[in-house]
Amino acid sequence: MAKTLQQLRTLTLDHLRETASDSHFTTDQLNGYINQAQEYIAAISSPPEDLVSVATEANKGAYLLPSDNILITSAYFGDTGTFNDVRPLKIISKTNAKYIFPSWLDETNQSSGEPTHLWYLDNSTVFIYPKPNTANASKRLYLYYGFSPTSMTNDGDVPDIKNNYHVLIPILASAYAYYALPNVEVAKELLLLFKSQYSDIKDTIEKESEESLSFKWSVPE
């Protein structure tokens, strides 16, 4: 079940053996630890995903990524208004690109066509190759990407990460708080608890995913 920022703050105070009216920390400080915990869990697990559509131009290969991008999970190119036109792009590294397409920096029309591959130029830019030619310039680049979770500020806000991981946020947030007190020994104990429970939850999620992928319809006799 999804937990609100207010619920997460209360659970964090429980770990600290404190209450809202009798705490070493302000509400803003506790919210900061909670958001920090959410960001860390997103980084080590599967981050929340979003889809962005990018207009392409003729003979242009480089396109900016959303500012909250962490990782591109899949990419497509085409026109959604034309049947069966949107095709997946193969994501490769820039190192592999220089061996597969040694002339990818070529600015001539001969290096343009229908894009089939994509790679990172840097942390904020991707490159598609071949670069769209005139016939493909009206089509769009579609990117599914993992994004950095939005910081929670209102009591009713809920984390962007998967619901399964919400119970871990107060444990990690309270560990950050104990480090700040400082009470390093208790903080270390909470980190060990976090790692143990994270491993259990991650194993369960991965098992559910594997079972879902292996499911097959059967025809009754």
pLDDT band at 153 (very low <50, low <70, confident <90, very high): very high
The answer to whether residue 124 sits within a structural domain is yes
pLDDT at 213 over 70: no
Same domain, 79 and 124: yes
Question: Can you give the pLDDT at residue 208?
Answer: 58
Same domain, 42 and 130: no
Specify the 3-state DSSP secondary structure of 79: coil
d(C-alpha 16, C-alpha 174), whole Å: 6
Same domain, 105 and 169: no
For residues 147 and 187, the model is more confident at 187
99, 123, 147 - which closes a domain = 147
Residue of 22, 72, 35 whose CA lies nearest to 161: 35
The answer to whether residue 215 sits within a structural domain is no
Same domain, 133 and 79: yes
Same domain, 53 and 134: yes
pLDDT band at 46 (very low <50, low <70, confident <90, very high): confident
Q: What is the pLDDT of residues 104-132, one digit of tens each?
A: 999 888 889 999 999 999 989 999 999 99
Number of domains within the chain: 2
147, 173, 188 - which closes a domain = 147
Same domain, 23 and 91: no
Q: What is the pLDDT of residues 62-99, one digit of tens each?
A: 999 998 888 899 999 999 999 999 999 999 999 999 99
Same domain, 18 and 67: no
Question: Can you give the pLDDT at residue 218?
Answer: 43
β strands within the chain, DSSP E = 49-55, 62-64, 69-78, 87-91, 112-113, 117-122, 125-129, 131-132, 140-147
d(C-alpha 106, C-alpha 110), whole Å: 8
The answer to whether residue 216 sits within a structural domain is no
Same domain, 156 and 118: no
- What global pTM score does this model have? 0.72
- Domain encompassing residue 82: 49-147
Same domain, 103 and 167: no
Same domain, 114 and 130: yes
Number of neighbouring beta carbons within 10 Å of residue 76: 19
